[in-house]
């Protein structure tokens, strides 16, 4: 399992023995993959001669739906892209829209967005690491991972009332300020989740069976990963420290102290270790944001984007008109195009927005990290064993919602 080079040599030898490789289908709904994907395999014994990865089973026409609504109506669709880390998608879309509109959210709003993003990153990593263990036949870490994730989703719930489909971040601000007692709740939930996660770490990191499956599998040189457009923990595990939070800081990441873990060998075990370390770094970021949370408004003070306070709407003429116009006409950006990227849990999550100056988006493109990462998987598993698909696919962490859009 470890030595894929030797595997390729075996392949040439055994080709002469029996000519035709066995074709089998893995998926679209396979119990050992978390994600709906079909992998058409050509096998020689247990060796993968070639594979064709077919995505699209979760294609819901995200862009088409966005184009038929107003700008603000596109936000709920974004948290359905990566439902393991919905807040990062909300933040990414809203930052892109704000770049288009030319507005900046006040500091408190930016801090809360940073906290929300990191909560989502934690929930994504907990899901990924737990599910990976389950698919390698270790059920216990999965249950722990989900339990840790539940604490993160409790925080989502405290912020916006929903656990998965958050729609918390809005163009020009947030749905609402932090609820009372959130800072204490967040510290407590973070403590609980990290305590559970420490158990996952203890169960897996030095586990010989787990390491046997992860070490040396799914490797691809950094140059190939870049050629495929792979980003996120998979690229960082291969030694390329590209993290948009550091490379092109957005929100308040440039004011925070955190490290970007990078691996050396780029195998699945390194990808696992990078994610484990990122969990700790995300916790650090949240702690710093909670400590330095400034006071003040969370929304831009501009009636073109955020509704005026209800008391004013009911009692004053101007504010009533502002709200009426915002509801009936929507936000009107200038004509133009922007691209804004944020660091998603699996890599570069970008939004390319095109406006023709009306209240409806002309185009809302999402550059999904899972799409490019899944694309590269073919080269990662060719020549490897059939069983190596499972840990590799786990560490790619393809999220059907964003991959298939």
**Is 60 exposed, middle or buried, given 0-12, 13-18 or 19+ CB atoms closer than 10 A?**
middle
Cα 240 from Cα 315, distance rounded (Å): 57
Nearer to another protein, 37 or 214 (CB): 37
DSSP per-residue codes, 107-129: HHHHHHHHHHHHHHHHHHHHHHH
Look at residues 365, 308, 292 and name the one whose alpha carbon lies nearest to residue 173: 308
DSSP alpha helix (H) spans, 238-296: 244-247, 268-292
Measured distance between the N- and C-terminal CA atoms of the chain, rounded to whole angstroms: 34
**Residue 335 found at the interface with another protein (CB under 8 A):** yes
Binding mask 368-397 for another protein (x = CB under 8 A): ---xx--xx---------------------
Inter-residue contact 182 to 359 (CB < 8 Å): no
Q: Which of 242, 250, 253, 258 binds another protein (CB under 8 A)?
A: 242
- Which residues, numbered 101-130, are part of the site for another protein (CB under 8 A)? 102
Look at residues 151, 138, 136 and name the one whose alpha carbon lies nearest to residue 203: 138
Which region, judged by CB under 8 A, interacts with another protein, from 37-45, 265-273, 297-305, 345-353?
345-353
**Residue 100 found at the interface with another protein (CB under 8 A):** yes
**Residue 405 found at the interface with another protein (CB under 8 A):** yes
**Residue 68 found at the interface with another protein (CB under 8 A):** yes
Q: Which of 227, 309, 321, 327 binds another protein (CB under 8 A)?
A: 227
For residue 242, what are the contacts with CB-CB under 8 A and spacing of at least 6? Answer: 231, 235, 236
- What's the token pair of residue 272? 């696992």
**Residue 64 found at the interface with another protein (CB under 8 A):** yes
Min dist CB 242 to another protein, Å, is 6
**Residue 55 found at the interface with another protein (CB under 8 A):** yes
Cα 400 from Cα 371, distance rounded (Å): 9
Nearer to another protein, 100 or 390 (CB): 100
Nearer to another protein, 282 or 374 (CB): 374
Q: Which of 6, 139, 164, 247 binds another protein (CB under 8 A)?
A: 247
For residue 279, what are the contacts with CB-CB under 8 A and spacing of at least 6? Answer: 122, 125, 126, 194, 197
Min dist CB 334 to another protein, Å, is 7
364 beta partners: 353
Inter-residue contact 218 to 392 (CB < 8 Å): yes
Q: Which 3 state secondary structure label does DSSP give 341?
A: strand
Q: Which of 228, 253, 272, 305 binds another protein (CB under 8 A)?
A: 228
**Residue 336 found at the interface with another protein (CB under 8 A):** yes
Cα 136 from Cα 85, distance rounded (Å): 23
Residue count at the site for another protein (CB under 8 A)? 43
**Residue 343 found at the interface with another protein (CB under 8 A):** no
- C-alpha torsion angle, residues 144, 113, 280, 270 (rounded to 10): 90
Which region, judged by CB under 8 A, interacts with another protein, from 156-164, 168-176, 362-370, 380-388?
362-370
- Which residues, numbered 141-180, are part of the site for another protein (CB under 8 A)? none
Nearer to another protein, 309 or 335 (CB): 335
Binding site for another protein (CB under 8 A): 54-56, 59, 61, 63-65, 68, 99-100, 102, 224, 226-230, 240, 242, 247-248, 334-339, 341, 348, 350, 352, 354, 362-363, 365, 367, 371-372, 375-376, 404-405
């Amino acid at each position: 399992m470890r030595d894929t080079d030797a595997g390729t040599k075996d392949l040439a030898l055994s080709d002469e023995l029996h000519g035709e490789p066995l074709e089998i289908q893995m998926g679209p709904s396979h119990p050992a993959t978390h994600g709906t994907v079909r992998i058409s395999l050509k096998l020689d014994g247990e060796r993968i001669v070639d594979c064709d990865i077919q995505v699209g089973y979760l294609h819901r026409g995200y862009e088409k739906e966005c184009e038929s609504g107003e700008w603000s109506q596109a936000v709920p669709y974004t948290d359905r892209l990566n439902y393991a880390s919905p807040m990062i998608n909300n933040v990414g879309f809203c930052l892109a829209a704000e770049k288009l509109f030319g507005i900046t959210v006040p500091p408190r709003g930016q801090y809360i967005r940073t906290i929300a993003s990191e909560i989502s990153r934690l929930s994504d990593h907990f899901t990924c690491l737990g599910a990976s263990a389950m698919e390698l036949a270790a059920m216990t870490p999965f249950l722990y991972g989900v339990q840790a994730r539940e604490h993160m989703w409790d925080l989502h719930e405290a912020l916006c009332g929903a656990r998965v489909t958050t729609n918390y971040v809005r163009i020009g601000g947030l749905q609402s300020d932090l609820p009372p007692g959130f800072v204490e709740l967040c510290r407590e939930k973070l403590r609980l989740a990290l305590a559970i996660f420490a158990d996952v770490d203890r169960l897996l990191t030095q586990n010989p069976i787990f390491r046997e499956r992860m070490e040396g599998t799914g490797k691809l040189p950094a140059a190939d990963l870049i050629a495929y457009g792979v980003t996120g923990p998979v690229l960082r595990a291969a030694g390329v420290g590209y993290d948009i939070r550091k490379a092109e800081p957005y929100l308040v990441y440039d004011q925070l102290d955190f490290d970007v873990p990078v691996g050396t060998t780029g195998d699945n075990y390194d990808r696992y270790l990078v994610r484990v370390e990122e969990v700790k770094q995300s916790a650090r970021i949240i702690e710093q944001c909670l400590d330095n949370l400034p006071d003040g408004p969370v929304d831009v003070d501009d009636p073109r984007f955020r509704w005026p306070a209800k008391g004013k709407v009911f009692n004053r003429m101007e504010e009533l008109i502002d709200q009426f116009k915002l509801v009936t006409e929507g936000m009107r950006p200038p004509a133009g195009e922007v691209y804004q990227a944020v660091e998603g849990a699996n890599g570069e999550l970008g939004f390319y927005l095109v406006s023709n100056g009306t209240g409806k988006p002309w185009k809302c493109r999402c550059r999904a990290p899972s799409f490019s990462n899944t694309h590269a998987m073919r080269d990662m598993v060719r020549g490897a064993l059939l069983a190596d698909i499972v840990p590799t696919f786990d560490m790619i962490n393809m999220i059907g919602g964003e991959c298939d859009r």
